């Protein structure tokens, strides 16, 4: 190694160290922008082309989405090494550019996961222009670099579930519809099966009569759009930067589950819990006004958004109460006093269960919620021996270390308990399993398992299904037993401990 290395001895990105992969950011940003655009327009739902439910089996099936990347890398390497005329390419060759477009007869791999044999057939279609250029000794870098981005652009555009191509383009250039497809054209390729075969060259569908007769009508209807009227809107916001991973891929703003004839939408307020609450409250107020304008009958509130309409405290309390093991005669209640904790304490005292509170300020707050004739069941004590702890915000690691082995922690807040005691059992936040009739649920809600929904969110759904006119907000609390029975009647099930 030279003592004084010369010019360009170091790699251009060597000084970046472990941040060298930042040079790939433009390509990542390009893909993410396409994904964001597609998902944003999809969740807006007005211009949806195909309104079909997506379930977890679809998510699992597409976990192998990167297999075709490995296959393409291998094929391109072998082609460059073994195919005559596939290497040492000039920058420009007019003949090669013309051949790449004349032999442009089909798309490469689509965004849908295919079996391996089908992947190979797509790859062969994709490679035909390149093999023809190599065979005629007219391949050039310009043709390859120009053709690949075009194919990538068309793939991204065609897989959007809304119409991107404006009508004026086809009016200004009438022949363009024979040379390029649109998202609506592609949707008929999958839904009608026997039509719209030639995605990247619709001319052949026109020639051979395989074009679907509803192509133009669907295209115009997709551009026009149709507003949806949700029955229930669940309003929530992100809790941490990592919460984005619990949303649909692409940073979406809402999801669209359906139960029976009830249309449910979840709207995400673009703020985190640690940001200014005044801005969050203004966004919540605007979102409620928009939801009302769209015809929503119920707005349920999640996470920190305890404002109006249905806050779900009654059902959350019911879930916690039915999570307590049978035969329990005393519990320890620890956490920041809330509407839910007060309802739980009152219900337990009515049952005759001893409720132990270890902090005076919490005891004073809970005592106001309990009738005088039941006050004997609410006790201020430093006894940490109960095997059932009902916990909320404010529980510390020091508190948990005082629990005896085998203690069961049951949270009543909307945030899970940090697990610090290996010998104890921890339950999830108040939640229930959703019925099979609820469709289009393909993401997990925060830290909950699949097809499990928080009690606060379920409360809004049950409220709408029962057509209750009473609001549950502020000091108002729905009857716990009534809400619990109604929830079970609609197919929601308690979770196994």
Instruction: Looking at the structure, tell me whether residues 251 and 386 fall in a common domain.
Output: no
Query: What are the tokens at 163?
Result: 């119409």
Round to whole Å and give the CA distance between 368 and 140.
82
Q: At what angle do helices 215-224 and 183-191 cross, to 10 degrees?
A: 120
**Domain membership flag for residue 98:** no
199, 179: one domain: yes
Count of structural domains, the chain = 3
Q: Which two tokens stand for residue 448?
A: 């909950």
Inside any domain, residue 128: no
410 shares a domain with 342:
yes
Both 347 and 375 in one domain: the answer is yes
Domain shared by 378 and 412, yes or no: yes
Does residue 350 sit in the same domain as residue 206? no
pLDDT the model gives residue 111: 42
For residue 107, what pLDDT is reported?
42
Does the residue 51 lie in any domain? no
Are 368 and 462 found together in one domain? no
Q: CATH no. for residue 378?
A: 3.40.50.720
Tokens 């009739």 map to which residue? 437
Same domain (yes/no): 220, 304: no
CB 47 within 8 A of CB 219: no
* Residue 139 CA: distances (Å) to CA of 85, 86, 87, 153, 269: 7, 7, 9, 22, 51
pLDDT score, position 254? 40
Q: Where are the alpha helices (DSSP H) in 324-396?
A: 339-351, 360-367
* Domain end marker among 426, 450, 474: 426
Q: What domain range is 280 assigned to?
A: 232-312+432-494
Q: What was the pLDDT predicted at 462? A: 86
Residue 40 counted as domain residue: no
Statement: the pTM of the whole predicted model exceeds 0.85:
no
One pLDDT digit (tens) per residue for the chain, 497 residues: 556 666 667 777 788 888 888 888 888 887 778 777 766 666 666 777 777 767 777 767 767 666 767 777 787 777 777 777 667 777 777 776 776 666 654 444 444 446 677 777 777 777 777 777 777 888 787 777 777 778 778 877 888 888 888 899 999 999 988 888 898 998 888 888 788 888 878 888 888 888 899 999 999 888 887 776 676 777 666 666 656 555 553 333 344 454 556 677 777 666 555 455 566 666 666 766 666 666 565 566 554 444 346 778 889 999 999 999 988 999 999 988 888 889 999 999 998 999 999 899 999 988 988 888 888 899 998 888 899 999 988 888 888 888 888 899 999 988 888 888 888 999 999 999 988 888 777 777 778 888 898 898 888 888 888 877 777 766 667 788 898 999 999 889 998 86
Cα dihedral value 57, 59, 63, 64, nearest 10:
70
Cβ atoms < 10 Å from Cβ of 251: 15
On whether residue 127 sits in a domain, the answer given is: no
Q: Which tokens hold the place of 453? A: 């929904």
Asked if 423 contacts 405 with a C-beta cutoff of 8 angstroms, the reply is yes
Q: Is 330 inside a domain boundary?
A: yes
Are residues 341 and 406 both part of a single domain?
A: yes
Residue 407 and residue 332 share a domain: yes
Domain end, chosen from 402, 426, 450, is at 426
In a domain, 130, yes or no: no
Q: In sequence order, which residues have a C-beta less than 8 Å from that of residue 37 and are 6 or more positions away?
A: 160
**332 and 300 within one domain:** no
Angle made by CA atoms 44, 47, 50, in degrees to the nearest 5: 100
pLDDT, residue 112, reads 46
- My answer on whether 436 and 300 are in the same domain is yes
Q: Would residue 140 count as lying in a domain?
A: no
Residue 406's contacts (CB-CB under 8 Å, 6 or more residues apart) are 387, 423, 424, 425
List all residues 6 or more positions away from 244 whose beta carbon is below 8 Å from its beta carbon: 238, 251
Look at residues 208, 224, 240 and tell me which one is the last residue of a structural domain.
224
């Amino acid at each position: 190694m030279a003592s004084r290395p010369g010019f360009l001895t170091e790699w251009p990105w060597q000084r970046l160290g472990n941040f060298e992969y930042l040079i790939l950011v433009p390509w990542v940003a390009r893909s993410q922008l396409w994904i964001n655009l597609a998902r944003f327009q999809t969740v807006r739902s007005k211009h949806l082309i195909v309104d079909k439910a997506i379930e977890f089996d679809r998510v699992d099936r597409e976990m192998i989405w990167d297999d075709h990347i490995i296959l393409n890398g291998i094929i391109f390497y072998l082609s460059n090494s073994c195919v005559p005329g596939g290497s040492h390419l000039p920058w420009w060759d007019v003949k090669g550019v013309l051949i790449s477009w004349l032999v442009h007869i089909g798309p490469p791999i689509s965004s849908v996961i295919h079996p391996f044999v089908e992947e190979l057939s797509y790859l062969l279609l994709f490679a035909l222009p390149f093999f023809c250029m190599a065979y005629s000794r007219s391949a050039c870098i310009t043709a390859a670099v120009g053709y690949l981005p075009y194919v990538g652009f068309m793939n991204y555009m065609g897989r959007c579930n809304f119409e991107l191509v404006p009508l004026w383009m086809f009016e200004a250039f009438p022949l363009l519809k024979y040379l390029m497809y649109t998202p609506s054209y592609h949707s008929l390729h999958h839904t009608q099966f026997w039509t719209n075969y030639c995605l990247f060259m619709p001319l052949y569908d026109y020639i051979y009569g395989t074009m679907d007769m509803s192509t133009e009508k669907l295209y115009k209807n997709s551009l026009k759009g149709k507003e949806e009227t949700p029955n229930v809107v669940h309003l929530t916001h992100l809790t941490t930067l990592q919460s984005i991973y619990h949303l649909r891929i692409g940073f979406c703003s809402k999801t669209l589950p359906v139960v029976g004839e009830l249309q449910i939408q979840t709207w995400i307020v673009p703020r985190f819990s640690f940001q200014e609450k005044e801005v969050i409250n203004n966004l919540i107020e605007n979102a409620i006004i928009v939801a009302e304008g769209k015809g929503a009958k119920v707005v349920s509130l999640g996470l920190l958004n305890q404002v109006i309409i249905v806050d779900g405290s009654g059902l959350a309390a019911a879930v916690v109460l039915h999570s307590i093991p049978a035969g329990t005669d005393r519990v320890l209640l620890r956490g920041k006093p809330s509407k839910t904790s007060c309802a739980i304490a009152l219900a337990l005292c009515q049952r005759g269960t001893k409720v132990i509170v270890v902090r005076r300020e919490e005891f004073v707050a809970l005592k106001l919620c309990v009738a005088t004739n039941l006050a004997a069941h609410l006790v201020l004590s430093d006894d940490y021996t109960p095997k059932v702890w009902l916990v909320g915000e404010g529980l510390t690691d020091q508190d948990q270390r005082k629990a005896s082995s085998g203690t069961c922690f049951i949270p009543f807040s909307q945030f899970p308990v940090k697990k610090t005691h290996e010998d104890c059992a921890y339950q999830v936040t108040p939640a229930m399993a959703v019925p099979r009739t609820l469709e289009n649920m393909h993401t997990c809600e925060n830290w909950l398992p699949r097809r499990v929904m928080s009690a606060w969110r379920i409360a809004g759904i049950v409220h709408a299904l029962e057509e209750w006119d009473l609001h549950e907000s502020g000091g108002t609390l729905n009857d716990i037993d009534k809400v619990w029975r109604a929830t079970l009647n609609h197919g929601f099930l308690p979770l196994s401990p």
